[in-house]
Amino acid sequence: MSDLVLLESQGAVATLTINRPDKLNALDREVLAALRGRVEQLAANEAVRCVILTGAGEKAFVAGADIAEMKDLSVDDARAFSREGHAALAALEACAVPVIAAVQGFALGGGCELALACDFIHASTKARFGQPEVKLGVIPGFGGTQRLARRVGIGRARELVYSGAMIGAEEALRIGLVNAVHAPEELQAKVRALAETIAQMGPYAVSKAKDVLRDGEGRVLSDANALEVEGFAACFGTDDQSEGMAAFLEKRPASFRGA
Protein backbone atom coordinates (compact mmCIF):
# COMPACT_ATOMS: atom_id res chain seq x y z
CA MET A 1 0.00 0.00 0.00
CA SER A 2 1.29 3.48 -0.86
CA ASP A 3 2.83 5.57 1.92
CA LEU A 4 1.15 8.67 0.45
CA VAL A 5 -1.70 8.00 2.87
CA LEU A 6 -0.72 6.47 6.18
CA LEU A 7 -3.04 4.36 8.31
CA GLU A 8 -2.43 3.85 12.02
CA SER A 9 -4.81 2.14 14.41
CA GLN A 10 -4.73 2.55 18.16
CA GLY A 11 -7.49 0.69 19.91
CA ALA A 12 -10.82 1.49 18.26
CA VAL A 13 -9.55 4.74 16.70
CA ALA A 14 -7.74 4.86 13.36
CA THR A 15 -5.82 7.81 11.95
CA LEU A 16 -5.45 8.51 8.23
CA THR A 17 -2.64 10.93 7.35
CA ILE A 18 -2.19 12.49 3.93
CA ASN A 19 1.58 12.13 3.71
CA ARG A 20 3.01 14.44 1.10
CA PRO A 21 4.40 17.28 3.23
CA ASP A 22 6.96 18.40 0.63
CA LYS A 23 3.98 19.35 -1.59
CA LEU A 24 1.82 20.57 1.31
CA ASN A 25 -0.10 17.28 0.99
CA ALA A 26 -1.54 18.29 -2.40
CA LEU A 27 -3.97 15.81 -3.93
CA ASP A 28 -2.90 14.15 -7.16
CA ARG A 29 -4.12 10.93 -8.75
CA GLU A 30 -1.78 8.77 -6.69
CA VAL A 31 -2.93 10.31 -3.41
CA LEU A 32 -6.58 9.91 -4.38
CA ALA A 33 -6.01 6.25 -5.26
CA ALA A 34 -4.13 5.69 -2.01
CA LEU A 35 -6.96 7.29 -0.04
CA ARG A 36 -9.51 4.97 -1.60
CA GLY A 37 -7.28 2.01 -0.80
CA ARG A 38 -6.99 3.02 2.84
CA VAL A 39 -10.76 3.51 3.12
CA GLU A 40 -11.19 -0.04 1.81
CA GLN A 41 -8.80 -1.25 4.50
CA LEU A 42 -10.83 0.52 7.15
CA ALA A 43 -14.05 -1.04 5.88
CA ALA A 44 -12.52 -4.49 6.44
CA ASN A 45 -11.48 -3.72 10.02
CA GLU A 46 -14.45 -4.20 12.35
CA ALA A 47 -12.39 -3.12 15.37
CA VAL A 48 -12.26 0.50 14.15
CA ARG A 49 -15.13 2.63 15.46
CA CYS A 50 -13.94 6.15 14.63
CA VAL A 51 -11.42 7.68 12.20
CA ILE A 52 -9.32 10.84 12.36
CA LEU A 53 -8.17 12.35 9.05
CA THR A 54 -5.23 14.75 9.09
CA GLY A 55 -2.24 15.91 7.07
CA ALA A 56 1.48 15.46 7.63
CA GLY A 57 3.45 18.46 8.88
CA GLU A 58 2.33 21.70 10.45
CA LYS A 59 1.84 23.91 7.38
CA ALA A 60 -1.09 22.19 5.72
CA PHE A 61 -3.91 19.73 6.15
CA VAL A 62 -4.12 19.62 2.37
CA ALA A 63 -3.21 22.76 0.44
CA GLY A 64 -5.35 21.75 -2.54
CA ALA A 65 -5.31 19.59 -5.64
CA ASP A 66 -1.95 19.37 -7.42
CA ILE A 67 -1.90 22.34 -9.81
CA ALA A 68 1.20 21.07 -11.59
CA GLU A 69 -0.71 17.92 -12.52
CA MET A 70 -3.82 19.86 -13.55
CA LYS A 71 -2.22 22.63 -15.58
CA ASP A 72 -2.25 20.96 -19.00
CA LEU A 73 -5.32 18.75 -18.68
CA SER A 74 -7.68 18.56 -21.62
CA VAL A 75 -11.43 18.85 -21.08
CA ASP A 76 -11.75 15.05 -21.08
CA ASP A 77 -8.77 14.65 -18.76
CA ALA A 78 -10.20 17.25 -16.39
CA ARG A 79 -13.52 15.42 -16.33
CA ALA A 80 -11.75 12.17 -15.49
CA PHE A 81 -9.66 13.83 -12.75
CA SER A 82 -12.75 15.39 -11.21
CA ARG A 83 -14.50 12.04 -11.23
CA GLU A 84 -11.50 10.43 -9.50
CA GLY A 85 -11.66 13.09 -6.81
CA HIS A 86 -15.39 12.66 -6.37
CA ALA A 87 -15.03 8.88 -6.12
CA ALA A 88 -12.32 9.09 -3.46
CA LEU A 89 -14.22 11.62 -1.35
CA ALA A 90 -17.50 9.74 -1.77
CA ALA A 91 -15.78 6.58 -0.50
CA LEU A 92 -14.54 8.50 2.53
CA GLU A 93 -17.98 10.02 3.13
CA ALA A 94 -19.58 6.57 2.93
CA CYS A 95 -17.25 5.13 5.58
CA ALA A 96 -19.45 3.24 8.04
CA VAL A 97 -17.86 4.90 11.07
CA PRO A 98 -17.55 8.62 11.84
CA VAL A 99 -14.60 10.46 10.30
CA ILE A 100 -13.30 13.61 11.99
CA ALA A 101 -11.07 16.01 10.06
CA ALA A 102 -8.29 17.46 12.23
CA VAL A 103 -7.18 20.51 10.25
CA GLN A 104 -3.93 22.32 10.88
CA GLY A 105 -2.66 24.93 8.44
CA PHE A 106 -4.10 25.25 4.95
CA ALA A 107 -7.26 23.44 3.83
CA LEU A 108 -7.77 25.07 0.46
CA GLY A 109 -9.49 23.88 -2.71
CA GLY A 110 -9.30 20.10 -2.70
CA GLY A 111 -8.18 20.24 0.93
CA CYS A 112 -11.33 22.06 2.00
CA GLU A 113 -13.35 19.61 -0.09
CA LEU A 114 -11.61 16.68 1.61
CA ALA A 115 -12.43 18.06 5.05
CA LEU A 116 -16.05 18.61 3.98
CA ALA A 117 -16.33 14.91 3.06
CA CYS A 118 -15.72 14.09 6.73
CA ASP A 119 -18.53 13.98 9.28
CA PHE A 120 -17.26 17.15 10.92
CA ILE A 121 -14.16 19.27 11.31
CA HIS A 122 -12.03 20.41 14.23
CA ALA A 123 -9.39 23.01 13.44
CA SER A 124 -6.26 24.59 14.82
CA THR A 125 -6.32 28.33 15.38
CA LYS A 126 -3.77 28.45 12.54
CA ALA A 127 -6.07 26.67 10.07
CA ARG A 128 -7.12 28.47 6.91
CA PHE A 129 -10.03 27.41 4.69
CA GLY A 130 -11.18 28.38 1.22
CA GLN A 131 -12.24 27.41 -2.28
CA PRO A 132 -9.87 29.62 -4.32
CA GLU A 133 -10.29 27.80 -7.64
CA VAL A 134 -11.73 30.84 -9.45
CA LYS A 135 -8.33 32.51 -9.00
CA LEU A 136 -7.01 29.79 -11.31
CA GLY A 137 -9.82 30.12 -13.84
CA VAL A 138 -11.71 27.00 -12.75
CA ILE A 139 -14.34 25.97 -10.18
CA PRO A 140 -14.17 23.43 -7.35
CA GLY A 141 -14.06 19.95 -8.82
CA PHE A 142 -14.19 17.54 -5.87
CA GLY A 143 -17.62 18.43 -4.46
CA GLY A 144 -16.86 21.88 -3.04
CA THR A 145 -19.81 23.67 -4.59
CA GLN A 146 -22.24 21.11 -3.17
CA ARG A 147 -20.86 20.04 0.21
CA LEU A 148 -19.91 23.59 1.17
CA ALA A 149 -23.44 24.82 0.46
CA ARG A 150 -24.89 22.00 2.54
CA ARG A 151 -22.53 22.80 5.40
CA VAL A 152 -22.73 26.61 5.59
CA GLY A 153 -25.74 27.54 3.45
CA ILE A 154 -26.01 28.56 -0.18
CA GLY A 155 -25.41 32.29 0.40
CA ARG A 156 -22.11 31.88 2.25
CA ALA A 157 -21.01 29.15 -0.16
CA ARG A 158 -21.63 31.44 -3.14
CA GLU A 159 -19.59 34.21 -1.55
CA LEU A 160 -16.66 31.94 -0.73
CA VAL A 161 -16.63 30.24 -4.13
CA TYR A 162 -17.16 33.38 -6.22
CA SER A 163 -14.55 35.44 -4.34
CA GLY A 164 -12.00 32.70 -3.76
CA ALA A 165 -11.58 34.16 -0.27
CA MET A 166 -9.53 32.43 2.41
CA ILE A 167 -10.94 32.52 5.94
CA GLY A 168 -9.44 31.77 9.32
CA ALA A 169 -10.51 29.16 11.83
CA GLU A 170 -12.62 31.50 13.94
CA GLU A 171 -14.62 32.69 10.92
CA ALA A 172 -15.00 29.08 9.80
CA LEU A 173 -16.39 28.29 13.25
CA ARG A 174 -18.77 31.26 13.13
CA ILE A 175 -20.33 30.18 9.82
CA GLY A 176 -20.58 26.51 10.79
CA LEU A 177 -17.83 25.15 8.55
CA VAL A 178 -15.97 23.74 11.55
CA ASN A 179 -17.28 22.43 14.86
CA ALA A 180 -14.47 23.53 17.18
CA VAL A 181 -11.18 25.43 17.22
CA HIS A 182 -8.20 24.45 19.38
CA ALA A 183 -4.70 25.69 20.11
CA PRO A 184 -2.29 24.05 17.62
CA GLU A 185 -0.55 22.03 20.30
CA GLU A 186 -3.90 20.70 21.58
CA LEU A 187 -5.63 19.84 18.29
CA GLN A 188 -4.64 16.20 17.92
CA ALA A 189 -5.21 15.37 21.60
CA LYS A 190 -8.63 17.05 21.62
CA VAL A 191 -9.73 15.25 18.45
CA ARG A 192 -8.44 11.91 19.73
CA ALA A 193 -10.32 12.33 23.00
CA LEU A 194 -13.52 13.00 21.08
CA ALA A 195 -12.88 10.04 18.76
CA GLU A 196 -12.34 7.76 21.74
CA THR A 197 -15.59 8.98 23.29
CA ILE A 198 -17.47 8.18 20.07
CA ALA A 199 -15.75 4.79 19.90
CA GLN A 200 -17.21 3.89 23.30
CA MET A 201 -20.79 4.38 22.11
CA GLY A 202 -22.91 1.63 20.60
CA PRO A 203 -21.16 1.10 17.23
CA TYR A 204 -24.22 -0.16 15.38
CA ALA A 205 -26.22 2.82 16.65
CA VAL A 206 -23.53 5.34 15.68
CA SER A 207 -23.25 3.82 12.20
CA LYS A 208 -27.03 3.79 11.79
CA ALA A 209 -27.25 7.40 12.98
CA LYS A 210 -24.63 8.35 10.37
CA ASP A 211 -26.66 6.60 7.65
CA VAL A 212 -29.90 8.33 8.64
CA LEU A 213 -28.31 11.78 8.94
CA ARG A 214 -26.58 11.42 5.57
CA ASP A 215 -29.48 9.87 3.69
CA GLY A 216 -32.06 12.23 5.18
CA GLU A 217 -30.21 15.38 4.15
CA GLY A 218 -32.08 17.20 1.41
CA ARG A 219 -35.25 15.10 1.71
CA VAL A 220 -38.56 16.52 2.76
CA LEU A 221 -38.97 16.22 6.53
CA SER A 222 -41.64 13.51 6.42
CA ASP A 223 -39.47 11.26 4.25
CA ALA A 224 -36.40 11.91 6.40
CA ASN A 225 -38.35 11.13 9.56
CA ALA A 226 -39.47 7.85 7.97
CA LEU A 227 -35.81 6.93 7.60
CA GLU A 228 -35.32 7.65 11.29
CA VAL A 229 -38.25 5.42 12.25
CA GLU A 230 -36.74 2.48 10.36
CA GLY A 231 -33.25 3.16 11.71
CA PHE A 232 -34.56 3.36 15.26
CA ALA A 233 -36.49 0.12 14.85
CA ALA A 234 -33.49 -1.69 13.34
CA CYS A 235 -31.45 -1.00 16.48
CA PHE A 236 -33.86 -3.17 18.46
CA GLY A 237 -32.76 -6.23 16.52
CA THR A 238 -29.20 -5.93 17.86
CA ASP A 239 -27.31 -7.26 20.86
CA ASP A 240 -25.97 -3.74 21.38
CA GLN A 241 -29.45 -2.42 22.16
CA SER A 242 -30.05 -5.21 24.68
CA GLU A 243 -26.64 -4.65 26.28
CA GLY A 244 -26.91 -0.87 26.32
CA MET A 245 -30.31 -0.76 28.02
CA ALA A 246 -29.45 -3.57 30.44
CA ALA A 247 -26.23 -1.76 31.41
CA PHE A 248 -28.17 1.47 32.01
CA LEU A 249 -30.72 -0.24 34.27
CA GLU A 250 -27.98 -2.15 36.10
CA LYS A 251 -25.91 1.03 36.50
CA ARG A 252 -22.77 -0.39 34.87
CA PRO A 253 -20.71 0.46 31.77
CA ALA A 254 -21.98 -1.16 28.59
CA SER A 255 -19.83 -3.65 26.72
CA PHE A 256 -20.79 -3.23 23.06
CA ARG A 257 -19.88 -5.70 20.33
CA GLY A 258 -21.15 -3.83 17.31
CA ALA A 259 -23.93 -6.27 16.44
Catalytic residues: 113, 133
Which of 206-211's residues contact partners 24+ apart within 8 Å by CB, and which partners? 206/49, 206/97, 206/98, 207/96, 207/97, 208/234, 208/235, 210/96, 210/97, 210/98, 210/119
Whole-number Å distance between alpha carbons of 197 and 12: 10
- Residues 149, 218: Cα–Cα separation, whole Å: 12
Q: What contacts 28, CB < 8 A, 6 or more positions away?
A: 65, 66, 69
Residues 6+ positions from 205 with CB-CB distance below 8 Å = 235, 240, 241, 244
